[in-house]
Amino acid sequence: MKFAHIADVHIGCWRDPRLKELSSLAFIKAIDDAISEKVDFILIAGDLFNTALPGIDQIKTVIRKLKHVKKAKIPVYYIAGSHDFSPSGKTMLDIIEEAELGINVTKGNINSEEKLVLEFTTDNKTGAKITGMIGKRGMLEKKFYENLDKTNLEEAIGFKIFMFHTALDEMKPEHLKDMASSPASFLPKGFDYYAGGHVHIVSERKLPEHGYTRLVYPGPTFPANFSEIEKLGHGGYYIYEDGELKRKDLIIKKSLCKTIDVNKKTSEEAEKIIEESLEKENCEDKIVLLRINGKLKSGRANDINFKKIIDNIYSMGAYFVMKNSTKISSEEFEIIQLEHGSVEEVEEKIINEHLGQIKNNFKSESSAVKELIHILSSEKHEGEKVTDYESRLKKEMDLFIKENSE
């Protein structure tokens, strides 16, 4: 048996069109590689899109590639992640299944004891039994796991795959310590492969003593923010073949990450240090990241001519340049700064600082706030009237509040 495990594609996540294109190219390369590897099937463990209702161009990119997969007679099995899940239940993933370009394996029903009973989707060629759970922002999928009847899943015979889009306590790295997570015991035991998503890390863990043979996070197909490019450099995915796991790198563009210390320098000295540190670097066709740290003894960050520095890097042939100067402070000025991190990390920090200020009936105030932010951040669809857009958001919010209030 041979299959590809992909997760966290996030088509459309970057605002800049150059990086948005790289994200799409990474997905295209992953699919082309999987086809050339002659896999039996492909797993996508959530967040194929960055939003439940993406733009037309992003939809075309995915549909075009999934048609290639179908032509190669390779099934695609997927679950909804925290980004491509929609509280209204309307998502582009439904269109993919309706067009017979993929199969959503999160299927089941509620039994007489109000427990969620998941069903298996069986791969015709290999006989692999696949099921999985959706991911929602702020660990709102937790209640599904708590109400999950695991009996039929654990007793089933054959090669079994469980797809999940959740952070696990046992695999969460230190830099994501504030991310909401759950213990591995939330998952049903006795599966041959646990195909994870949501946590943008490359990690494999075996907990056989607890009933979990192979828990796997493949990382994103392309880094989704500044810090991910620093940590990962590039995206990738996994190929599983008869018990062996092989990492497949997706290097669309190489990256150059420079961390420069300007502590106890003037703003003029800092500018010179930054320029000199880049003089001998090969920036040709690379994503160049500049992270500047330190407390200036005089001047401030705004006095450093970053535009000139960045223009010079582009003249050296760089594909794209990003800088992070939030850690520059000054002895002369008090600067109010947000702690740098991913959007989710900054969001989490701000929400936690303001919890409990307003009386509410939410089962989990933190999780509810995150989901409401997600609903309100939904963009107006092409051709959608403003009144229809506002009505849609109101319906989604009313439905969410009704389902998540005590």
Q: Give the residue numbers annotated as catalytic, written as ranges.
A: 83
Please return the burial class of 299, using the count of CB atoms within 10 Å of its CB with bins 0-12, 13-18 and 19+: buried
CA distance 92 to 188: 28
- Packing angle, helices 365-376 and 386-403, rounded to 10: 160
Q: In this structure, what is the dihedral angle of CA atoms 269, 272, 273, 277, given to the nearest 10 degrees?
A: 180
Structure tokens at 138: 């702020």
- 380 Cβ contact partners less than 8 Å away, ≥ 6 residues apart: 386, 389
Amino acid 206 reads K
CB-neighbour burial class of residue 58 (10 A; exposed 0-12, middle 13-18, buried 19+) = buried
CA atoms within 13 A on the CB side of 258: 26
Pairing of strands 193-196, 235-241: unpaired
State how far the Cα of 377 lies from the Cα of 393, in Å rounded to an integer: 9
Give the three-class secondary structure for 366. Answer: helix
Nearest-5° Cα angle at 215, 32 to 168: 115
CA dist 399 and 89 (Å) reads 11
- Rounded Cα gap, residues 209 and 156, in angstroms: 20
Please give the order of strands across the beta sheet that includes 121-122: 121-122, 129-132, 160-164, 193-196, 212-218, 202-207
- DSSP assignment of 161-188, as one string? EEEE---BGGG--GGGTTS--B-GGGSP
